Amino acid sequence: MTTGSDTHGGAPKKALVSACLLGRDCTYKAGNNRDSVLLEELQRRGYKAVPFCPEEHGGLPTPRPAADLTASAREVLAGRGRVLTHGGEDVTAEFLAGAQGAVRQCQAEGIQLAFLKERSPSCGCAATHVDGALVEGPGVTAQALRDAGVECEGVEGRR
Ligand code: SF4
């Protein structure tokens, strides 16, 4: 995580945070990745957390089948890749809707920083899942947020 002053004029700045990191049971298994270290860090730095789950926002149920990208997130966003469940169902539209929702939320609330669950096909920042393998590169939402100018920091979760 970056350091330094994260408040302006005493008003807390907002950060978008993967909802599962805040304890919401929204993972594909209907569990969470609550991260107490992140919660302390947000408080210390004066951030108000804005919870967001792109996959639920995009209309997917919880629990839901695990899904992988068929290409990089950049390719998915450009319409040249898809997101498929392990059963072969195409959930690209839901993933794109979730990513677009995250961008809209940040724009509406003036959010410039996001803390996102690492390795998720939506929220992963340094790594995500493509065709059943863990590969370097962001998930669909992290890529869309970065393209919109929002800084994204990956968080392991469950600390
Ligand atoms: S990693 Fe992202 S998409 Fe997955 S449950 Fe957490 S907030 Fe939702």
Q: Can you give the residue ranges of every domain in the chain?
A: 13-155
Annotate 23-46 with DSSP letters as a single string.
T-S-STTS-----HHHHHHHHHTT
Going by pLDDT thresholds of 50, 70 and 90, the confidence category of residue 8 is: low
Given this model, what pLDDT does residue 90 score?
98
> Does the pLDDT of residue 5 top 70, yes or no?
no
Pair of tokens at residue 126: 């340094």
pLDDT in tens, 91-119: 999 999 999 999 999 999 999 999 999 99
Going by pLDDT thresholds of 50, 70 and 90, the confidence category of residue 30 is: very high
User: What mean pLDDT comes out for the span 148-155?
Assistant: 98
122 lines ligand 1 (CB under 6 A): yes
User: What mean pLDDT comes out for the span 29-48?
Assistant: 96
8 A C-beta contact, residue 38 and residue 21: yes
Given this model, what pLDDT does residue 9 score?
56
57 lines ligand 1 (CB under 6 A): no
Residue type, 74: R
d(CA 95, CA 83): 7
> Does the pLDDT of residue 70 top 90, yes or no?
yes
Going by pLDDT thresholds of 50, 70 and 90, the confidence category of residue 1 is: very low
C-alpha 12 to ligand 1 mean position (Å)? 24
With CA atoms as reference, report the closest residue to 68 among 16, 137, 20: 137
Pair of tokens at residue 139: 């998930």
Output DSSP code: residue 6.
-
Residue type, 40: E
Average pLDDT, the chain: 94
C-alpha 10 to ligand 1 mean position (Å)? 30
Name which residue sits closest to atom 5 of ligand 1, judged by CA: 27
pTM, rounded to two decimals: 0.93
155 lines ligand 1 (CB under 6 A): no
8 A C-beta contact, residue 20 and residue 117: yes
How much of the chain, in percent, has pLDDT values that exceed 90?
91
Going by pLDDT thresholds of 50, 70 and 90, the confidence category of residue 58 is: very high
Give just the sign of the alpha carbon dihedral 140, 101, 111, 21. Answer: negative
